[in-house]
A and B are shown apart, each in its own frame.
Chain A
Amino acid sequence: MTDINNDPKSTKALNSQLVKDDVKRAVSRRSAIKSGLALMSGGAIAASTASVANAVTPDPLITEIQDWNRYLGEGVDARPYGSPSQFESEAVRRDVPWLTADAKSSVNFTPLHKLEGVITPNGLCFERHHGGIAEIDPADHRLMINGLVDTPLIFTMEDLKRFPRENKVYFLECAANSGMEWRGAQLNGCQFTHGMVHNVMYTGVPLKYLLAEAGVKTAGKWVLPEGGDASHMTRSIPLDKCLDDCLVATHMNGEALRPEQGYPMRLVVPGWEGNMWIKWLRRIEIGDKPWHQREETSKYTDLLEDGLARRFTWVMDVKSVITNPSPQAPIDHGRGQTVLSGLAWSGHGKVSRVDVSIDGGRNWKPARLDGPSWSRSVHRFYYDFNWDGSELLLQSRAVDEFGNVQPTKNALRAQRGVNSIYHNNSIQTWHIKPDGSAENVEVS
C-alpha cells in the first residue's frame, strides 16, 4: 500500500484504486494479517476509510467534479433484475474446499461480517446440497402425501397456491455450524465459523392444512418429508411438530425460493436443524414410527465421549457471534468510538439478552438488542464503545426467553467431548490486536 502522506496524487487516486480494486485490497489486507504485519498505522488506516483528523490539502473528492457527478448513468432498462453494487464484490458466499469431497455434496457460508439487520439477502443464504442444485420447472413439480392417511393426494404448484398461507421470519442453521471448531480455534472468520445460518421471511402453507386435506389416521405419529433432487433427502419428524409450526414455503423474502434453497417448494421446520428443512419437497409420508434414514443415523447424531451417541437432537440451541469486528472485518479506523455488532438466535424461542465481554469472559456488559425480536429468528445486537487501542478478547453470550445460556467451549466439551460434530453453540472469542486486526482464538 502507498503511504498517503508521501503520495503526490493524494487521496483521489489512492481511493479510487482502493475502491475499484476491491479484490486486490482484500488480498493485500489478508496477506498483511497472515504475515503478522501491523496493518499500517495512522495514514494507511485513514486512507482506506477517508477519515483524517486534520486535512492539510482539500479533498479532491469534494473540490473536483467526479465522473458520476457529471455523466449520465444507466437507464431503467439496464438492470431488469438488480444486483449489488460492483463495490460489494466481497459480500459473497465462500466455501472451504478441503471440508468435503465434491462441491455437489458440500456447503458454502453466508458472509455474516458483510451484513446488517436481521434479514439475509437471498443470494447470500448459505447453501448445503447433497446432490447439487436441482433445477425443477414448477409445472413439472408434484407434491405427494401418502402413508397413514385417508386419501393419498397429489398437489401441483397451482393447488398449493389455493391454501391459506402465512409469512414468518425464521433462522435456518445447519446442525454442523461451528462443527470445525470443537477441537479448537480453526477458521479465521465468522463467515466460516458461523456462516451456516441465514434468516429470511418465508411465505408458505402451514403443513397442518395439507395433512388435514389427506386426513391423518390416528396411528400416524411420524412424518417423512422427501426431496426431489438426486439425493432424495429424507428426515423423520414427529407429527406434533408438523402440526405446530411447520410450513411448506414457496417464497423467501418476497420472491420465489432460489433454486439452491429448494425451488419450487421447501419445508420450514422452525428452530430445528437445517438438514430437516427438506428442499425441492416432493413427498410427505405419514407413519407410526421413525424411519432412521441416513441423515438421522450415520449423520446428524452426536457422538459423546463415552461412545454413546445422541439421536434426534433436533433443536438448535441458543447461540451468538460477534460479526464486526472479526477476522474478515478488522477495525480500520484506529482508536476511538467504534461499533461492535453481532447476531444471536435460539431454536427454543426469542433471544432475551446478549452480553458482551472485551476481556475474554472476565466481565460482561449487556449489549443493545435492536430490530425485530421474533421467536426462532435472528436478533441483531450492538455494543458501542470507545476503543483505546489496546488488545481485546471479544466474546458474546446469548440467553433466550427460557433461561438457556450459551455455554463456553470448555463447558460444552466437558459435557460432550470433541467428537459430536453437531450442535456446537459455544461462545466464540476474537482477539483484537493493537493494529485492529482480529484472529479466532481460544482463551483460558
Chain B
Amino acid sequence: MNHSIKRISVRAYGVAFFLIFMLGASAAQANDIENGKKLYRQCAGCHQIGPGASNSFGPQLNGVMQRGAAKVESFDYSSAFNEAMAPDVKWNSSSLSAFLEAPLTNIPGTAMAFPGVKSEDERTSIIAYLAAIDVDGNLTASTDEGAGKADSMAAEAQPRMLAADVEVPTHGVLHIGRAALAEEVAAWDIDVRPDGLGLPKGAGSAIAGVEIYDTQCAACHGDFGDGTGRWPVLAGGQDTLTDERPEKTIGSYWPYLSTVFDYVRRAMPFGNARSLSDDDVYSVTAYLMYLNDLVEEDFVLNSENFAEIRLPNEENFIADTRSKEPHFNGSVEPCMSDCLPGVATISQRARVLDVTPDEDI
C-alpha cells in the first residue's frame, strides 16, 4: 500500500517538474504569440485569419508558414509577387521578417500596399502568431492570457480601504470623478472645426501626399480617389448632384475641408486608425484636394492657410425644412374611405430586382 502511494507520488512529481519546465520554456514564445495577435490587427483589414477565413483584399493567412507563399489558389496574386515566390518558396522567419519590414521595397509591384512594420520585435511577434495558426485557422500553441486574471485575483486579496479615508473631490454638484489632466485632454481632443479650431501645428504638400495615399488609402479608395468596389469615392462627381445617380465626393458634395482632415486623422486608414502623423494628414488632405482639381500639385496645406479654404458645395446645405412638408403637424386629416380613385394596381415588384439575400444560415 505504502509502496504504491510512493510510486504514484514520484510519478506525480515527475509530471509536475515536466510541466514547469515546459511552461518556462514556452513563456516567452506564448508572450510573442499574444503580442503578435494584437499587432496582427493592423493586418486584419486586408488579411483574414482564423476558422472560416476567406480572401479579401489580401489572401487569408491560415497556416501561411506551413503552406508556402502564394499558395492560396483562389487568390489572384500580383504577378510581381508570383514571380518573387515561384515555384515552391516557403516563408521562414527571416524571409518573412525581411518582407514585412518594407513590402513595397522588397517586392516592387506587389499589391500589398502597406508601409511595413519597422520594429524587429514586432515582426517577430507577428510571425510567431502566424506560425501558431494552422491551415484550419486554429491557434495551436497556448498563450498566457490567464496571467492577467491571476494578477487581478491577487489584487482582490488586498485589504479593503476604509470608506472614511476616501478623498472627496470639490468640483461639481455630486463630487464624482476627477479632474482631467491637460495631457489627457490633448490625447483625445483631436476634433477640428471648419473655422480651424482644433487644428494641430503642421504642414503637408500634395506631392508628399501621393506616397502616403498610394500605400495607405488607394487599396480601398482607388488610385485617383475613384473608389474600388463599394468603398467610398473621394474625388470627381462635380455637377452630378441633380443627376439621376449623384456622385457625392469631397469635391462635389462635402461642405468643409476640416471634415476631411478630422476624419482621416481619427478613423483612417481603415483598420489602423491614429497611425498617421499630423503632417501626413496635412499631406493626404492636400493630395485629396489635388485629386478634386481644387489645387495644383505644388500646393502646401498648413495650419495657417487651412481655414481660408472653401469647398465648392458649402453653400448648398440648408437647415432641416421637413416640418414644412404637407404631412406634418396636423395639416392633413388622414382619409379613411374612397381615398384614391379606382382599384389599386401594382406598379413595381421587389421580385423583379431579386436582390434579397437567401435565407441560408
Contact = CB atoms under 8 A, between A and B. Distances in A.
A364 B337 contact: yes
Contacts of A232: 266-267, 273-274
Interface in B318-344: 318-322, 325-332, 334-340, 343-344
Nearest to B316: A308
Interface in A261-293: 282-283, 285, 287, 289, 291-293
Contact of A155 (B173, B177, B220, B348): B177
Interface stretch (B29-37, B125-133, B285-293, B349-357): B349-357
Nearest to A294: B263
B344 A444 contact: yes
Contact of A213 (B174, B347, B354, B355): B174
A27 B360 contact: yes
Interface in A326-355: 327-328, 355
A130 B351 contact: no
A23 to B, nearest CB: 6
B25 interface: no
A298 B340 contact: no
Contacts of A36: 351
B163 interface: no
Interface string B38-78: 00000001000000000010000000000000000000000
Interface string B97-131: 00000000000000000000000000000000000
A405 B334 contact: yes
Interface residues of B, number: 84
Contact of A441 (B229, B263, B350, B360): B350
Contact of B195 (A101, A289, A308): A289
Contact of A402 (B184, B263, B330): B330
B351 A101 contact: no
Interface stretch (A12-20, A52-60, A143-151): A143-151
Interface in B183-208: 184-185, 188-189, 191-195, 197
Interface string B219-244: 01000000001110000000001100
B143 interface: no
B357 A96 contact: yes
Contact of A209 (B174, B179, B328, B331): B174
A214 B322 contact: no
B259 A298 contact: yes
A65 B338 CA distance: 56
Interface stretch (B87-95, B249-257, B299-307): B249-257
A293 B260 CA distance: 9
Contact of A215 (B172, B270, B327): B172
B322 A423 contact: yes
A96 B177 CA distance: 43
B319 A443 contact: no
Interface of B: 45, 56, 171-174, 176-180, 184-185, 188-189, 191-195, 197, 220, 229-231, 241-242, 246, 248, 250, 253-256, 258-259, 262-263, 266-267, 270-271, 273-274, 316-322, 325-332, 334-340, 343-351, 353-361
The 7 A-B pairs at the shortest CB distance, nearest first, are namely: A403-B330, A360-B344, A213-B172, A440-B350, A152-B180, A442-B348, A232-B266
